[in-house]
Amino acid sequence: MNSMTGFGRGRAPGSGFEVAVEINSVNRRGLETSFSLPKDWQPLERVLASRLREVFSRGKLHASVSVDLDRSSGGLTWDDSAVEATLKRLEVLAQKTGSPWPPSAGTLLRLALEHRETANLPNVDVAEAILVQALEEAIVQLKAMRGSEGTQLEEDFRSRIGLLQELLSGIEERADGRSVQYGELLMQRLKNAGLELNLEDERVLKEVALFADRCDVTEEITRLKSHLVQFDTTMDGEEDVVGRKLEFILQEIHREFNTIGSKSNNLEISKRVIEAKNEIERIREQIQNIE
């Protein structure tokens, strides 16, 4: 089981340059990819997107690509006019704010790097293999992080499912025979009320039995036991992509607890239903991050 949140970084050297790829991943209902690449390499987006879709099924993934050109080979160049224009604007700003001027050598270097020219970037055909190599390293790290977080979430889910099973056991103990008891209590109340009804009339007895049966939660308890086992079984399975299935099972678990709460007229059962729904909500918040 994997989380959808994580980060991965990869680097790969080329001839006179080095490529770095960083991938950030957050949760999404489906799979969404976006990229930041040097302008000349944008045609490679299709290659990157195809590879990410082969590995991941859900999540919003953003891959950022940066290139370090080898300065010793003369690869580092910048746009002189752009740097000069920026310096003029900064000088005006410095005069207005009373900031120190002229700028330090470090500031000049940062400006030069900001306006680095990419005219000397390798062409797409040369860059593709290096870029894919860096991407693969970033994917390995991202998968590892998503897997690690997924393991932690699984441990949390198992703990909370265990609590739900305990609460259900408490509900089952208190619900056993409640429909019969409720029917007897209802009959006694009718007698005490002195209503002009023949309490031995078969039709009256039938209506009382039907009304009492509406408070029976045996079926809901049976289905809940099955759903809780299914939730655990799904986490134990070999499938990597289980988030949507777990969401559906959790929805059914909530539905059954909700029905028990609406049918029950027992305070202790109602308390356990409230506790169960709180645990379900905590699971629901975290399950949004599962791939």
Contact 32, 61 (CB under 8 A): yes
Report how many domains make up the chain.
3
232-291 confidence digits (pLDDT tens): 999 998 888 899 999 999 999 999 999 999 887 778 899 999 999 999 999 999 999 999
Q: What is the pLDDT of residue 16?
A: 80
Residues 131 and 252 reside in one and the same domain: no
Segments in 124-175 forming alpha helices (H): 124-175
Residues 242 and 278 reside in one and the same domain: yes
Residues 134 and 173 reside in one and the same domain: no
Specify the 3-state DSSP secondary structure of 104. Answer: coil
Q: What is the pTM of this model?
A: 0.70
Of 149, 154, 152, which Cα lies nearest the Cα of 26? Answer: 149
Q: Which residue has the tokens 């979430």?
A: 153
Residues 14 and 142 reside in one and the same domain: yes
Measured CA distances, 210 to 72, 203, 207, 213, 214 (Å): 89, 11, 5, 5, 6
Q: Report the pLDDT averaged over residues 123-151.
A: 94
Q: What is the CATH number of the domain that holds 17?
A: 3.30.230
Q: Is residue 62 part of a domain?
A: yes
Q: Out of 125, 146, 167, pick the residue that ends a domain.
A: 146
Residues 164 and 269 reside in one and the same domain: yes
**Which domain range does residue 261 map to?**
149-287
Residues 190 and 283 reside in one and the same domain: yes
Residues 199 and 212 reside in one and the same domain: yes
Residues 167 and 104 reside in one and the same domain: no
Q: Rounded to whole angstroms, how far apart are CA atoms 268 and 153?
A: 30
> 160: Cβ–Cβ under 8 A, 6 or more apart, which residues?
279, 282, 283
Residues 270 and 197 reside in one and the same domain: yes
Q: Rounded to whole angstroms, how far apart are CA atoms 42 and 124?
A: 9
Residue 238 CB neighbours (<10 A): 5
Q: Is residue 31 part of a domain?
A: yes
Q: Is residue 1 part of a domain?
A: no
Q: How confident is the model at residue 75 (pLDDT cuts 50, 70, 90)?
A: very low
Q: What is the pLDDT of residue 118?
A: 47
3-62 confidence digits (pLDDT tens): 999 999 999 998 888 899 999 999 998 999 999 998 889 999 999 999 999 999 999 999
Q: Rounded to whole angstroms, how far apart are CA atoms 31 and 56?
A: 8
Q: Does the structure show a pLDDT above 80 at 103?
A: no
